[in-house]
Homo-oligomer: A and B are copies of this chain.
Amino acid sequence: MLQPGLMMDFPLTIPAILRRAAQVFPEKQIISRLGDGSLHRYTYGDLNRRVLRLMNVLRDLGVKSGDRVATFAWNSYRHLELYFAVPALGAILHPLNIRLFPEQLLYILQHAKDRAVFADRSLAGFFAEHQSALKTVEHYVLMDDCVSSSVALPTAALDYETLLAGAREEACFPVYDENSAASLCYTSGTTGDPKGVLYSHRSVYLHAMGCCMADSFGIREQEVVLPVVPMYHANAWGLPYACAMTGATQVLPGSQLFGKPLAELMERERVTFAAGVPTIWNLFYQHLQQHSYDLSHLKVILSGGSAISQSLIANYEREFGIQVLNAWGMTETSPVGSLCRLKAQMEDWPSEDRLRVRIKQGLPVANLEMRIRNEAGEELLRDGKEAGELEVRGPWVARAYYGSSAADCAFTEDGWFQTGDIATLDADGYMEITDRKKDVIKSRGEWISSVEMENVVLSHTAILEAAVVGRSDALRGEAPVLYAVLRDPQQHVAPQELLEALKSHFAQWQLPRLSDIHFVDSLPKTSVGKMDKKALRSGSKE
């Protein structure tokens, strides 16, 4: 019989992260950019005291353990306070994506049955309009984000600061198991209804530890971290918790996530580590090319959410000395799943070969396991060639969707999550996404990787964005259709030129027809800034 170890039963919970921040890093700063451009500064010590007050506010509002408390806000210190206070109380933090369409928001709020909503004042219009439909919401609490706006406000809304001013600071933490629910995020849902992922204290805590591992994000006390990724997007990739765990300085950028305001904030606060989707970094690069800032402290840009181009990685490194790290993850994986750092033996490789690795989604982070399987369910070789559906497992991977039948087909019987991504794994352990399963183009019975085709097009210096989708084709089954956005609309590129570039990477039968190469002003995006291929496909049918 197995003997239990004799180690402490120390639960991995979010309040332990806060305790650490308050005791070991009380002087370290959290800086928030408000709607009027001013900066709010306080420390982890202040954060802790206000979280204690906020917990008492929540308690007084009748929020009980297990209740869902929604947020509807930009990245700011108040949002961060909710990140700690709600789970600390045993309730469930539910950050809503402020960019969703009203019908999606209604669906999610009704599905989650949120009891309270904490909203930035300037964003509260949605709730004023739909208040009658949101029957479970008992309280609206507004946070003044210093935006002069005249939006309608929900009736009987409370004011965040008034509540905090009237609250006790007395600490009273309930005791619960580390497997208790801590927060709830819904997938962006490019297909079907949004689905909820219910994170546990344990999964959030382990994920935060993971983010601090040297080969993952490597968050440490000396970093100044700016999450451009919104706090409603998969827990801002775990950064708020990872920073608190290590005492890293947090710079919360509010609503202006582009060009001048972003660059000025990075310059002023000497940001060392920033994280966001490729679209942000693509536009930001253009801005940096045209303006001059001192970003000498910025060492790492973390890019995730969709594929990044080789040229963008190369350009940031060459022109600004900034390392762009490619990462992969999903709401269902908390979200960090893999990260692309080169192995020691690759450091001496020619720059071209290194770039070829760096656009891969990278090595699974510690704690996460990956395999690829074909449609018959057979595990495929890790040779960098065989492509199949990527499956993952680990302590911060979902085993079911919230309020959904347990038999959801995304979860295999032997305990893996099917990501819906088509990927290869190579002998060095690197994973590369070749497509979303639903975006795969099947031509003459074989797959064409839309992502690979996009990468080739993006290596053309005149191209800003590219997307490849399939259209049905009588002869080939499906045929690729290419949409490209010019970096400079004045600088014309002939479709033939792109086709020529593709010829050295694809077989003749895989190439798009010349008439299937389109230049467009912009590409449709989802609410979290990913390419919306569903919209493109429906466009390509017209």
Contacts and interface: CB of A to CB of B under 8 A. Distances in A.
A246 B366 contact: yes
Contact of A198 (B6, B247, B382): B6
Given A212-B214, A215-B246, A90 B2 contact: yes
Contacts of A369: 16, 19-20, 23
Find the residue from A177, A215, A334 having the highest chain B CB count within 10 A.
Answer: A215
B344 A429 contact: no
Nearest to A401: B6
Interface stretch (A152-160, A217-225, A256-264, A287-295): A217-225
Contacts of A197: 6
Contacts of A212: 213-215, 366
Contact of A343 (B203, B214, B221): B221
B5 A202 contact: yes
A147 B9 CA distance: 44
Contacts of A24: 363-364, 429
A28 B427 CA distance: 12
Contact of A27 (B334, B347, B364, B428): B428
Contacts of A92: 3
Nearest to A5: B200
B209 A218 contact: no
Given A3-B92, A415-B8, A20 B218 contact: no
A199 B7 contact: yes
Interface residues of A, number: 80
A397 B4 contact: no
A232 interface: no
A7 B177 CA distance: 14
A418 B24 CA distance: 20
Interface in A1-35: 1-10, 12, 16, 19-20, 23-28
B222 A344 contact: yes
Interface stretch (A178-186, A318-326, A495-503, A530-538): A178-186
Interface in A54-70: 65-66
Contacts of A210: 209
Contact of A199 (B5, B199, B366): B5
Nearest to A17: B366
Nearest to A183: B5
Contacts of A396: 7
22 contacts: A2-B90, A3-B181, A4-B200, A5-B199, A5-B201, A5-B202, A7-B179, A7-B200, A7-B203, A8-B398, A9-B399, A19-B369, A23-B369, A23-B382, A24-B363, A25-B429, A26-B427, A209-B213, A209-B367, A213-B220, A214-B246, A215-B221
Interface of A: 1-10, 12, 16, 19-20, 23-28, 65-66, 90, 92, 176-177, 179-182, 197-203, 206, 209-210, 212-215, 218-222, 245-247, 249, 334, 341, 343-345, 347, 363-364, 366-367, 369, 382, 393-402, 415, 417, 427-429
